[in-house]
């Protein structure tokens, strides 16, 4: 494994990311239990901006890829994202229910009852790749919002036009304490992956994943990886 390239991080962007994380975490803690209605509202807002800006999203992807047809963009990025949002919206009330579990001996004999209660983690970071630049942001975001979390997004620097549109539609749909976006090159990605998130999701190359894990480990941040040729694990 090659050592990560040392890049100079702008103090301004680093402070902005730290402030955004702090604001999201404080808002999350103040909110308390996140109702199904609130989660559904956030999913609906995401669906709404994807539908209204579908053509604009496709146009931005075309500028980045040059040769990808609109039909492909609308199907693999826009429709796929909306499908994930709708799936989570349909099932989240079921997912939120407690699940009974057998109590361990001897607590069961003493009247003990056990159950699993699913709770949000807090603030989740998304580091997205270039190949499906919208779907790889909004598909994980669907699960994050359905679970009652907040999100910070780092779209790929290799699709700058698409990343710009993502940043704008996210800002249109959400308060920055709910979801916010930070675009930029390796220096932004390096600072982003070093933030003390409650969880982080990375989709991309194995060699980059090693650097992501190294940075996340300093803050004991759990990471979900989807690497080349594999599914999320």
Does 34 map to a domain? Answer: yes
Residue at 136 is within a domain: yes
Q: How far apart are CA 231 and CA 233, in angstroms?
A: 6
Strands 114-116 and 99-101: antiparallel
Residue 65 located in a structural domain: yes
Domain contains 2: no
pLDDT band at 113 (very low <50, low <70, confident <90, very high): confident
Domain membership of residue 13 (yes or no) is no
The pLDDT, as a whole number, for residue 168 is 97
Provide the whole-model pTM. 0.88
Q: Which residues pair with 151 in a beta bridge?
A: 124, 179
Q: Give the pLDDT confidence of 165-205 residue by residue, as tens digits.
A: 999 999 999 999 999 999 999 899 999 999 999 999 999 99
Answer yes or no: is 106 within a domain. no
105 falls within a domain: no
Q: Quick one: pLDDT at residue 109?
A: 77
Order of all β-strands in the sheet with 223-227: 179-181, 150-154, 123-127, 199-204, 223-227
Q: How many domains does the chain have?
A: 1
Domain that holds residue 56: 20-95+117-227
Is residue 15 in a domain? no
pLDDT confidence of residue 229? 60
Residue 207 maps to which CATH number? 3.40.605.10
Write down the pLDDT at residue 3: 38
The more confident residue out of 175 and 10 is: 175
pLDDT for the residue numbered 2: 37
* pLDDT exceeds 70 at position 53: yes
């Amino acid at each position: 494994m090659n050592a990560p390239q040392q890049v100079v991080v702008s103090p301004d962007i680093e402070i902005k990311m730290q402030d955004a994380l702090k604001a999201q975490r404080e808002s999350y803690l103040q909110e308390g239990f996140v109702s199904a209605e609130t989660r559904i509202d956030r999913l609906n807002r995401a669906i709404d901006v994807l539908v209204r800006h579908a053509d604009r999203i496709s146009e931005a992807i075309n500028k980045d890829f040059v040769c990808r047809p609109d039909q492909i963009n609308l199907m693999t990025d826009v429709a796929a994202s909306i499908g994930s949002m709708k799936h989570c919206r349909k099932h989240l009330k079921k997912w939120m229910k407690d699940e009974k579990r057998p109590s361990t001996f001897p607590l069961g004999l003493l009247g003990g009852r056990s159950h699993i209660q699913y709770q949000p983690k807090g603030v989740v970071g998304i580091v997205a790749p270039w190949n499906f630049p919208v779907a790889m942001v909004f598909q994980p975001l669907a699960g994050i919002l359905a679970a009652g979390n907040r999100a910070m997004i780092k779209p790929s620097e290799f699709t700058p036009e698409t990343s710009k549109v993502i940043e704008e539609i996210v800002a249109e749909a959400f308060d920055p304490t709910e979801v916010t976006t930070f675009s930029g090159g390796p220096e932004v990605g390096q600072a982003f992956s070093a933030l003390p998130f409650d969880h982080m999701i990375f989709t991309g190359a194995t060699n980059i994943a090693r650097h992501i894990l190294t940075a996340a480990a300093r803050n004991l941040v759990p990471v979900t990886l989807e690497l080349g040729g594999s599914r999320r694990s």
